[in-house]
Amino acid sequence: MKVHFIQHETFEASGAYLQWAENRNYEISFSKVYENDILPDTADFIDLLIVMGGPQSPITSVEECPHFNAEAEMNLIRKCISAGKAVVGVCLESQLIGEALGTSFDHSPEKEIGVFPITLTEAGFEDEKTNHFGSSLNVGHWHNDMPGLTKESKILAASEGCPRQIIRYSDLVYGFQCHMELTTEVVSLLIDSEEDLLEKSSKYKFVQSPETILSYDYTKMNQKLFQFLDKLVSAYKN
């Protein structure tokens, strides 16, 4: 299994996604665009594309952020989808999947930073890759926006602060607005990158303090993510 990661910033690390791939001895490659790595020009050598989040938005221009090229990433996403590859987009990239498929991202009703529960929709319970999440699962959040919806897409999970947390675009293409890959190490990097987090936690309903965010045990959400990814790989191979 060949797993390719795109990472936009040092603090938007692959966390549990990388742990999963390493634990299964998959072939792993990276495009660390913040180090000016070049994106693959073909999907031929990718079975699963995992694209991490970032502080950018789908409308961030190359002039605004020289190492982030939204159109180039969307082009690779389209190539992978057309070639029947599996694709998982996290946060920013869940939004870019929708953009690549012809819809537009939206602003989330609430800013969410921290750990809050998501609730599966009826479609989420019917989806064999997510039904093990259960009716409610605490997961990580670090966002202001949310992915757009195509005619074929299904909302699989929502939270009180955001109605689009997990989107299935097709049987092999999923967008996660939430961050199930968080570990204590990744959370520490994100906290260090976030300005005035303590002040924001007193201002916004769904923003937690650094101390609260660091106090969580992320093991359960990571294990649930591993199960999802195993199911996705099984569907891809079949």
Please, which residues bridge with residue 142 across strands? Answer: 113
Closest CA to 115 of 181, 52, 55, 171: 181
Average pLDDT on 70-88 reads 98
CA atoms within 13 A on the CB side of 100: 26
Cα(78)–Cα(73) distance, integer angstroms: 9
pLDDT tens digits, one per residue of 3-29: 999 999 999 999 999 999 999 999 999
Split at pLDDT 50, 70, 90, the class of 208 is: very high
Q: Tokens for 93, please give them.
A: 């990239």
Domain range summary for the chain, segments of one domain joined by +: 2-237
Place of tokens 């309903």: 205
pLDDT tens digits, one per residue of 130-188: 999 999 999 999 999 999 999 999 999 999 999 999 999 999 999 999 999 999 999 99
pLDDT tens digits, one per residue of 39-58: 999 999 999 999 999 999 99
What pLDDT, on the 0 to 100 scale, is given for residue 141? 98
| Contacts with 65 (C-beta within 8 Å, 6 or more apart), sequence order | 56
Closest CA to 173 of 114, 235, 116, 111: 235
Q: Let me know if 6 is exposed, middle or buried by CB neighbors in 10 A (0-12, 13-18, 19+).
A: buried
What pLDDT, on the 0 to 100 scale, is given for residue 78? 98
pTM of the model: 0.97
What pLDDT, on the 0 to 100 scale, is given for residue 12? 96
Q: Let me know if 44 is exposed, middle or buried by CB neighbors in 10 A (0-12, 13-18, 19+).
A: exposed
Average pLDDT, the chain: 97
| Contacts with 16 (C-beta within 8 Å, 6 or more apart), sequence order | 180, 181, 182, 183, 218, 221, 222, 225, 226
Instruction: Kindly state the helix (H) or strand (E) to which residue 151 belongs, with its residue range.
Output: none
CATH of 2-237, one of 3.30.565.10, 1.10.4030.10, 3.40.50.880, 3.40.1110.10: 3.40.50.880
Cα(81)–Cα(153) distance, integer angstroms: 14
